[in-house]
Amino acid sequence: MHINLLRETIRIVYLSLLAGSKYQQHSALQTLYHGCFPAALIRVIHVPQNRPASSSPRARILLAPMEGVVDFQMRELLTRIGSFDRCVTEFIRVTDALLPARVFQRYCPELEQDSRTRSGTEVYVQLLGGDPLIMAVNARRAAELGSAGIDLNFGCPARTVNRRDGGSTLLQHPARVKAIVQAVRDAVPHSVPVSVKIRLGIRDSSQLSEICSGIQQAGASELCIHARTRQDGYQPPAFWSHIKPVRELLSMPVVVNGEIWNTQDADQARHESQCSDLMLGRGALACPDLSMQIRAHASGQAYTALPWPEVLELLQQSFDNTNPAHRRHTGNRLKQWLVYLKRQYPMAEALFQSVKQLKDSHAINSAIERHRVIALTQAH
C-alpha cells in the first residue's frame, strides 16, 4: 500500500515537471521515476515552440470527429467543399503506453502537411483515455510530430469505450477530467492549443458547471459541448439551452454541438446556447455543404445548395479513394455515407438500395454510373 502511494506521488510530481525544460534530463527525480515506471513511457521529446495559435474574428464552424466515419479521406473531401475552420481526427485510444509515431500518422496523415488538409484546414489530433500520465506523454508526442493542437475526448458514449475507462464515463468524476486536462496542458508547449470535447453529463447536467470550471482551471484553450448526456446517446432532441449557464460562467471559447442539420438548427443552437461557434457532425455528412449554407444564411447572402448530381460525383471520388483491407468491406464507407445523405437527398435511398448488398468494386461503380445518368437526365 505504501509503495503504491509512493509510486502515485512520484507520478503526480513528475507530471508537473514533464513540460519543456523544467527539469534536468538526468535529475534524481527522473532516475527515481524510471525505477517505478517503464522508461518507454517517459521519453522526453523536443517540441517546436513557434507555432502560433489559430484565431478567426468570424464565428467558427468546426468539423466533428466521428469514429469510423470522418477519416482522412472524408476530411479532405468535406473541407474542400465546405468552409470549416478546423477538423479533429477520429479518437486515438490511449491505454498504458506511449504510442509509436506511425499510429499518429495513420490517424492523421495531415501531419505530413503541417497538420492541415490540402484545402488548408487545421487538424487537431484527438486522444481518448483515462490515465493523466499516459495521455500527457502521448499528447506531447502528437505535438512533437506537428499536430496543430490536441483535442481530448470526454464525449464518446459508446459502451465499449466507456467500459475501458474512456470517453463520457469520465464525466462522473470531474476531478479526473480536470487532472487529465491539466496533465496534457502541462505536457505540451503553451503555443499548442488543448481543446476538450464533453457531453452535458452522464444522465443529467447537474455536474456540468463543476466539469467545465475544472476544465478551464486546468488551462484548456476551448471547450466543445455536445448538448446531450451519455444516456441520451444520439437521440433527439439536443438540449442546447443547458449550455447557456456555463457559457456565461466561462471565459474560454465554448462551441455548441449536436443535432445541427440545417440553417434553422444552427440559428436555434446559437440562440439557446449563446455560443457563436458551431461543431457539425452528422449534419455535415447529410448535407456536405452545410457549413457554406450556414455562413451564407448568417450573412444574408443567396446560396444554391449542392445538387444531387454533384453529390454523386463526391460519392464516386470517395469510393475511388477507399482501399479496404478485405473484399467484404468494399463499399462500406460509401454505404455509411449514403445512410446520412438520405436525410437530405431522397435519391440517395435508391442508390443505397442498389449497392447495399454489393461487395464488388466494378458492380458498385456501375450502380453509381447508372444513378448518375438518371440524375443528369432528370436535371435536364
Q: What is the pLDDT of residues 185-225, one digit of tens each?
A: 999 999 999 999 999 999 999 999 999 999 999 999 999 99
Give the Cα separation of 315 and 317 in Å (integer).
Answer: 5
Instruction: Clarify whether residues 19 and 155 are in a common domain.
Output: no
Instruction: Clarify whether residues 68 and 144 are in a common domain.
Output: yes
The residue annotated as part of the active site, out of 87, 108, 156, 287, is 156
Share of the chain above pLDDT 90, in %: 77
Instruction: Clarify whether residues 319 and 274 are in a common domain.
Output: no
Query: What type of residue is 72?
Result: F
The most distant pair of C-alpha atoms in the chain lies apart, rounded to whole Å, by 79
Picking from 275, 299, 323, the residue at the C-terminal end of a domain is: 299
Examine the residue annotation and report whether 156 is marked as an active-site residue of this protein: yes
Q: How many CA atoms lie within 13 A of 226 on its CB side?
A: 32
Give the Cα separation of 108 and 124 in Å (integer).
Answer: 8
**CATH number for the domain including 282?**
3.20.20.70
Whether the Cβ atoms of residue 89 and residue 124 lie closer than 8 Å to each other: yes
Predicted TM-score of the model (pTM):
0.84
Annotate 142-154 with b (16+ C-beta within 10 A) or e (fewer).
bbbbbbbbbbbbb
Give the Cα separation of 321 and 335 in Å (integer).
Answer: 14
Q: Where are the alpha helices (DSSP H) in 50-145?
A: 72-81, 101-107, 132-144
Instruction: Clarify whether residues 10 and 33 are in a common domain.
Output: yes
Give the Cα separation of 299 and 322 in Å (integer).
Answer: 36
Instruction: Clarify whether residues 9 and 91 are in a common domain.
Output: no
Tracing cell 442498389 back to the chain, one arrives at 354
Whole-number pLDDT of residue 16 = 45
Residue 123 sits at the vertex; the CA angle it makes with 240 and 81, to the nearest 5 degrees, is 80
Give the Cα separation of 134 and 364 in Å (integer).
Answer: 43
Q: What is the pLDDT of residues 129-156, one digit of tens each?
A: 999 999 999 999 999 999 999 999 999 9
Q: What is the pLDDT of residues 166-180, one digit of tens each?
A: 999 999 999 999 999
Residue 141 corresponds to which cell in the numbers above?
508526442
What domain range includes position 340?
308-379
100 located within any domain? yes
**CATH number for the domain including 341?**
1.20.225.30
150-154/194-199 β-pairing: parallel
122-128/254-257 β-pairing: unpaired
Tracing cell 458498385 back to the chain, one arrives at 364
11 located within any domain? yes
Sign of the dihedral defined by the CA atoms of residues 255, 259, 261, 262, in that order = negative
What is the count of structural domains for the chain?
Answer: 3
Q: What is the pLDDT of residues 52-103, one digit of tens each?
A: 333 345 799 999 999 989 999 999 999 999 899 999 999 999 999 999 999 9
Q: How many CB atoms lie within 10 A of CB 233?
A: 11
Distances 243 to 7, 152, 261, 371 between C-alpha atoms, Å: 39, 19, 18, 43
Say if residue 237 is preceded by a cis peptide, omega within 30 of 0.
yes
Instruction: Please name the residues in contact with 318: beta carbons below 8 A apart, sequence gap of 6 or more.
Output: 73, 74, 77, 333, 334, 337
